[in-house]
C-alpha cells in the first residue's frame, strides 16, 4: 500500500497451492515488492497484523486441535495459558516472527505490531471511506489477541474502541465447534452450516437456538457485551455441553439452530452498539461477518441506516486493515487507497501465457485467439455451455469476482449438477452465486436500503423475476441470492461480458463460481488454469484473449 502502487495484495495460498496456507507469507511479500519495484529497505512501515501470531496449522492440525479440545489434557493447556510461562512462550514466538521479517531485509525501525481486532476495525472503517460522519465499527470473530468482538467509533480518521469481549465468550468458536461436531472441517466449512440452515423446520431449529442463547447473558445496562452464564465452560471447551444440547436432534435442525442463534447474537450486538453510541451507519469486519445470512438480518434492523461489510472479512484481510491504519498515521487519512474492485493481485501476459498455451496444445487442446472474447464467452453461455475465465488481475479473498471464475447460464436446467460433476464436487445443499449488472439488480433483489453489494458479502431476498432469471445462482430452498453486482466502472471487461449475455438472452446476470479444483485454492497462474482444465471435466477456458478447448468440444 503506498502512493505509487495503491493497494496490492496476494494470499499466500495462491502461489503455494496450499488451501488456507498457514505460515509466513514469503511469496506474497515478494510479489508485492516486485509489483511496486521496491526493495525491503525501501519500505517505510511494515504493519504486522496481530500482536500474537497463532500457531501454523494445516487442515489436519486444525482437526487434531479440535479433537483435543474435549480432553482433560486440553483443559490443562488452558490453565497453562494463565501462567507466566505462557507469556514467555508468546514472547518467543513474537521474536521468531520478527526475525523472519528482518531476515527478508526490512528495517527494524519500520516494523509495527497491530492488535488483531484493531486490524479488523481499521479494515471496516477505512474501507468504508466515509470520514465526514461518525461510523459505528463492530468486529466479531473466533478469537484474536485475546478478544472475540469489539465496538469502536470511527471519526475524523481516528478509531476509538468503546467496548470489547474476551475470547472465552466467543460464539464464533462455538460455531466452529458445531462445524467440527457435524463432521466437517472447522475454520473452513462453517459456510456449509449456513447453507443447510434454510432446509430445516422452524420449530426444532428455534428450540436449539434457544438452548444456545441460554449459554450466554447480555449486560443488564444495555451495553454491547455478553458473557457466559455461571457454569458454562470456556467456548474452547464447549463440546461436551454442545453434545448434551444436540442429543437426539436432527443434523439439519442443529445447523439451522446454530445459524439462528448466530443471527440473534449478531443482531443484538449491533442493536446494542447503535443504542450505546447513537450512530446508525455501521461498518463490520471479522470472520463471523462472512455469514451473509446474518448480514442480511443486520441490514434489515430498524436501528441500522447503512451497513458496510468489508469484503472477505476473515483474518486474510487483517493485513489490509493493518496497512490502512499505518497509512493513515504515516501520511494522513486522505492517502488511504480505496479497495476498489478487490482485484488486487497479479495479471499475466507474455511468457507466462505463452507457456500455458504451449502446455494446452501439448495436451491436445485447441487454442484460438478470439477478437471480442467477451462476446464469444457470452454466446457460449447463452447456448448453455460452461466456460472458465482467466482475465486481468486476480481477486483477493474468499470470493471469485469474475476474473478467476467458472461461468454458466443462470436458467439452463442441469448446469449446477454439470459443474459439480465436472469440477466443484460441492455438497448437494450448497447454492451457487450470481454476477449481476448494476442496472439489472433492482429487477432481481429486494433491497430497500439500497445497500451496495460488489463483493458477494451480502445476501438478499429475490423478486419473482430474480427467481426466474437467476434460478441457478440463488439458494434452492429459500431463494436468497449472494450477488456480485458489477458496474462498468469497476470491471469493464466483465461488465461487457454480462451485458453481451443480456443482449442475447434478456437476462442481466450469470452464474459465477471460483475457478479451482475441489480442495484447491483459486487458480493463480495461467498454467494453474490449464491444470484445472486438464484434471477436470471442464471443456472451455477463456484465457485472456484466447479460447482453449478440449478436443471434441465443438465450435
Q: How far is CA 162 from the centre of its chain?
A: 26
- For residues 527-539, give the mean pLDDT: 97
Residue 301, φ and ψ in degrees, nearest 5: -60, 140
The yes/no answer on whether domain 121-315 falls in CATH 3.30.70.260 is: no
Q: Per CATH, which fold does 351-549 belong to? A: DHBP synthase (3.90.870)
- In whole angstroms, give the CA distance from residue 30 to residue 18: 17
Q: What are the residue boundaries of the structural domains of the chain, listed by start?
A: 13-117, 121-315, 351-549
Does residue 294 sit in helix, strand or coil? helix
Residue 344 pLDDT: 95
Residue pLDDT, tens place only, 293-306:
999 999 999 999 99
Strand partners, 152: 137, 161
What is the pTM assigned to this prediction?
Answer: 0.94
Share of the chain above pLDDT 90, in %: 84
Residue pLDDT, tens place only, 251-288:
999 999 999 999 999 999 999 999 999 999 999 999 99
Residue pLDDT, tens place only, 307-317:
999 999 999 99
In 111-215, the DSSP E strands lie at 111-114, 135-144, 147-155, 158-166
Share of the chain above pLDDT 70, in %: 96
Residues 6+ apart with CB under 8 A from 359: 527, 530
Q: How far is CA 144 from CA 287, 393, 403, in A?
A: 11, 30, 32
Residue pLDDT, tens place only, 187-215:
999 999 999 999 999 999 999 999 999 99
Residue 3 pLDDT: 63
Read off the DSSP letter of residue 153. E
Least confidently predicted of 106-115, 176-185, 272-281, 422-431: 422-431
- For residues 471-475, give the mean pLDDT: 98
Q: How confident is the model at residue 551 (pLDDT cuts 50, 70, 90)?
A: confident
- For residues 33-46, give the mean pLDDT: 94
Residue pLDDT, tens place only, 118-171:
999 999 999 998 888 999 999 999 999 999 999 999 998 899 999 999 999 999
Amino acid at each position: 500500500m503506498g502512493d505509487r502502487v495503491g493497494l496490492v495484495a496476494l494470499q499466500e495460498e495462491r502461489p503455494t497451492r496450499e488451501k488456507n496456507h498457514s505460515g509466513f507469507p514469503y511469496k506474497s511479500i515478494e510479489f508485492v515488492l516486485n509489483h511496486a519495484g521496491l526493495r525491503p529497505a525501501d519500505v517505510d512501515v511494515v504493519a504486522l497484523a496481530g500482536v500474537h501470531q497463532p500457531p501454523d496449522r494445516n487442515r489436519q492440525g486444525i482437526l487434531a486441535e479440535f479433537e483435543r479440545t474435549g480432553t482433560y489434557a486440553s483443559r490443562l493447556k488452558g490453565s497453562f495459558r494463565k501462567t507466566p510461562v505462557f507469556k514467555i512462550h508468546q514472547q518467543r514466538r513474537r521474536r521468531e516472527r520478527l526475525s523472519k521479517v528482518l531476515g527478508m531485509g526490512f528495517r527494524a525501525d519500520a516494523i509495527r505490531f497491530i492488535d488483531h481486532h484493531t486490524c479488523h476495525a481499521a479494515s471496516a472503517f477505512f474501507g468504508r471511506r466515509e470520514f465526514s460522519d461518525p461510523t459505528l465499527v463492530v468486529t466479531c470473530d473466533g478469537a484474536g489477541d485475546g478478544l472475540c468482538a469489539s465496538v469502536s467509533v470511527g471519526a475524523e480518521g481516528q478509531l476509538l474502541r468503546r467496548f470489547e469481549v474476551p475470547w472465552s465468550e466467543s460464539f464464533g468458536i462455538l460455531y466452529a465447534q458445531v462445524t467440527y461436531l457435524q463432521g466437517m472441517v472447522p475454520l473452513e466449512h462453517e459456510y456449509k452450516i449456513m447453507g443447510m440452515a434454510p432446509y430445516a423446520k422452524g420449530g426444532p431449529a428455534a428450540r436449539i437456538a434457544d438452548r444456545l442463547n441460554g449459554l450466554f447473558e447480555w449486560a443488564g445496562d444495555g451495553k454491547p457485551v455478553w458473557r457466559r452464564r455461571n457454569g458454562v465452560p470456556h467456548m474452547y471447551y464447549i463440546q461436551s455441553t454442545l453434545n448434551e444440547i444436540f442429543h437426539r436432534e436432527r443434523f439439519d435442525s442443529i445447523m439451522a439452530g446454530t445459524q439462528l442463534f448466530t443471527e440473534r447474537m449478531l443482531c443484538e450486538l449491533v442493536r446494542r452498539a447503535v443504542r450505546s453510541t447513537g450512530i446508525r451507519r455501521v461498518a463490520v469486519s471479522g470472520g463471523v461477518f462472512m455469514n451473509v445470512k446474518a448480514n442480511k438480518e443486520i441490514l434489515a434492523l430498524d436501528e441500522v441506516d447503512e451497513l458496510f461489510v468489508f469484503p472477505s472479512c476473515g483474518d486474510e484481510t487483517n493485513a489490509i486493515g493493518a496497512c490502512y491504519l499505518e497509512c493513515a498515521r504515516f501520511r494522513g487519512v486522505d492517502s488511504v487507497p480505496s479497495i476498489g474492485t478487490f482485484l488486487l493481485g497479479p495479471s499475466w501476459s507474455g511468457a507466462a501465457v505463452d507457456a500455458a498455451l504451449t502446455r494446452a496444445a501439448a495436451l491436445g487442446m485447441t487454442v484460438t485467439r478470439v477478437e471480442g472474447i467477451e462476446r464469444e464467452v457470452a454466446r457460449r453461455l447463452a447456448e448453455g455451455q460452461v466456460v472458465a475465465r482467466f482475465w486481468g488481475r486476480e481477486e483477493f479473498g474468499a470470493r471469485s469476482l469474475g476474473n478467476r471464475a467458472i461461468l454458466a447460464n443462470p436458467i439452463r436446467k442441469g448446469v449446477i449438477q454439470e459443474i459439480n460433476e465436472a469440477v466443484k464436487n460441492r455438497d448437494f445443499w450448497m447454492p451457487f452465486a450470481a454476477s449481476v449488472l448494476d442496472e439489472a439488480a433492482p429487477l432481481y433483489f429486494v433491497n430497500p436500503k439500497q445497500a451496495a453489494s460488489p463483493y458477494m458479502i451480502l445476501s438478499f431476498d429475490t423478486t419473482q423475476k430474480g427467481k426466474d432469471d437467476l434460478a441457478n445462482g440463488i439458494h434452492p430452498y429459500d431463494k436468497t441470492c449472494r450477488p456480485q453486482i458489477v458496474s462498468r466502472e469497476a470491471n469493464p471487461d466483465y461488465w461487457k461480458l454480462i451485458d453481451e449475455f443480456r443482449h442475447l438472452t434478456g437476462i442481466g446476470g450469470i452464474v459465477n463460481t471460483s475457478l479451482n479444483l475441489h480442495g484447491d485454492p483459486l487458480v493463480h497462474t495461467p498454467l494453474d488454469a490449464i491444470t484445472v482444465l486438464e484434471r477436470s471435466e471442464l471443456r472451455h477456458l477463456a484465457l485472456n484473449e484466447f479460447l482453449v478447448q478440449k478436443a471434441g468440444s465443438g465450435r
